Amino acid sequence: MSDRVYLTSTEVLAALRSAFTSFDEGASNALASIDSEIGETRTWLLERKTHWQREVAQAEQELSSAEDNLRTCEASGYYDDEGDYVEPDCTSEASAVTDAQNRLTVVTAKLDNVNEWALRIESGVEEFHRSAGMFATAVTHQAQERQRFLASKIEQYAAAITLVSRKSELLRPSASSGSLAPRTTFPEVHHIACLVDPAKLATLGARGLNPRIQKIVYWLETARRAGQKPGTVLDGALSQGRIISPEAAKLTKDALLRNLTIAERLGCFTGAGLEEMRRGVSPTIQRGPYKGDRLSVDHIIPRSICPELDNVIPNLELMPLKMNMSKAAKIGQRQVDTACRLNRAGLLSDQGLKAIETASPAQQTVVAER
């Protein structure tokens, strides 16, 4: 059997790389999810232990009090005038002691059960962490090796394909003479205009705009490499669409240029990275502290707080995946300022703006003070 594989398209390598990446992310997410569940279980057991410790202490106090009452009752006997001893009726006090003893037995058993399960959990957790650590180390090492190998191969093929594609776009037969002539209208404007068309964005599902952000940044970088100014390309693309206001167009343009800068600073514009972004796939970061991570799309204003901004371009920003996953769905001053600008531009409803302002810590503080 031959040890060589013959490929005629980077799509195969890119799909393989994406599959490996999905597996790596899935494995990491699974381990993180299990670890989170372990933490929740530990917390729950600690809460149960604290609860039953209180119950045991209360039951012991109730038993002690019942026993005191019984002794007091038993000591209340006396001799009548005829010298006969009158024994007191302590039935209710004796019954209270029995009830208190039974309750103490029950709650003590509950506490013992919690302690037993806590020991079992800790024993299992120790074994899990040992095995999970070995698995995570193996996955990380193999992932790095795979990514380096596939990235180098994809970059080799993608560089050639991009060059050929670019030449084909710039040179087309003249309508009058049929001879090859340089193009005066570049394709990037048309591609971006289609990707930012509000009518199409309105039909997207949850996080449906995320791949489009990757594609738009790819076309902006392609245009820049061809000698065009990204800002001018965006002006042309946005003028073809039906952006509802000049303010909305400006916010959209600024956001896309910011994303272009982010991708560039993180070193994502390698041949392999551009090929992935062209297909709407997150490229691998090649520069900075997040090198090796994927470049994901983040919602500046969390979609959980304001779903209507899920597919609004000025609300989306490129960010390393690990940083994105570690973010909490919080509203700070930046989010409030962004919401106000989006509202003025007609990209956010008054109701949505109110929801965001209500979720901000500053607004919550004002309400609390009132």
Domain boundaries, the chain: 10-71+97-123+135-163, 184-369
What pLDDT, on the 0 to 100 scale, is given for residue 174?
46
Please tell me the predicted confidence (pLDDT) of residue 161. Answer: 56
The predicted pLDDT at position 296 comes to: 94
For 256-280, what is the mean pLDDT? 94
Per-residue model confidence (pLDDT) at position 368 = 38
Task: Report the percentage of the chain scoring pLDDT > 90.
Answer: 48
Q: Does position 75 have pLDDT exceeding 80, yes or no?
A: yes
Residue 282 banded pLDDT, cuts 50, 70, 90: very high
Can you give the chain as a three-state secondary structure string? CCCCCCCCCHHHHHHHHHHHHHHHHHHHHHHHHHHHHHHHHHHHHHHHHHHHHHHHHHHHHHHHHHHHHHHHHHCCCEECCCCCEECCCCHHHHHHHHHHHHHHHHHHHHHHHHHHHHHHHHHHHHHHHHHHHHHHHHHHHHHHHHHHHHHHHHHHHHHHHHHHHHHHHHEEECCCCCCEEECCCCHHHHHHHHHCCHHHHCCCCCCCCHHHHHHHHHHHHHHHHCCCCHHHHHHHHHHHCCCCCHHHHHHHHHHHHHHHHHHHHCCCCCHHHHHHHHCCCCCECCCCCCCCCEEEEEECCCCCCCHHHCCCHHHEEEEEHHHHHHCCCCCCHHHHHHHHHHHHCCCCCHHHHHHHHHHCHHHHHHHHHC
- In this prediction, residues 64-76 reach a mean pLDDT of 92
**What pLDDT shows up at residue 34?**
83
**Per-residue confidence band for 221, with pLDDT thresholds at 50, 70 and 90:** very high
What is the reported pLDDT for 176? 46
The whole-number pLDDT of residue 175 equals 46
The pLDDT of 71-93, averaged and rounded, is 88
Per-residue pLDDT for 299 more than 80? Answer: yes
Q: What does the pLDDT read at residue 170?
A: 52
**pLDDT for residue 158:** 60
Q: Which residue has the higher pLDDT, 269 or 368?
A: 269
Q: For 184-200, write each residue's pLDDT tens digit.
A: 346 788 889 889 988 88
Q: Is 243 left (phi over 0), alpha (psi -120 to 50) or beta?
A: beta
What is the percentage of the chain residues whose pLDDT exceeds 70? 82
pLDDT at 217 over 50: yes
Higher pLDDT, 94 or 129: 94
**N- to C-terminal Cα separation, the chain:** 78
* pLDDT, the chain, mean: 83
CA distance 272 to 214: 13
At 3-44, the pLDDT tens digits run 555 455 566 666 776 777 777 777 777 877 888 888 888 889
Q: Give 166 or 13, the one with higher predicted confidence.
A: 13
Q: Please give the pLDDT value at position 338.
A: 95
What's the pLDDT at 241?
A: 63
Mean pLDDT of 129-150: 76
C-alpha–C-alpha distance, residues 202 and 214, integer Å: 18
pLDDT at 210: 94
Confidence at 125, pLDDT banded by 50, 70, 90? confident
Q: Is the pLDDT of residue 137 over 60?
A: yes
Cα–Cα dist 112/106, whole Å = 10
Read off the pTM. Answer: 0.52
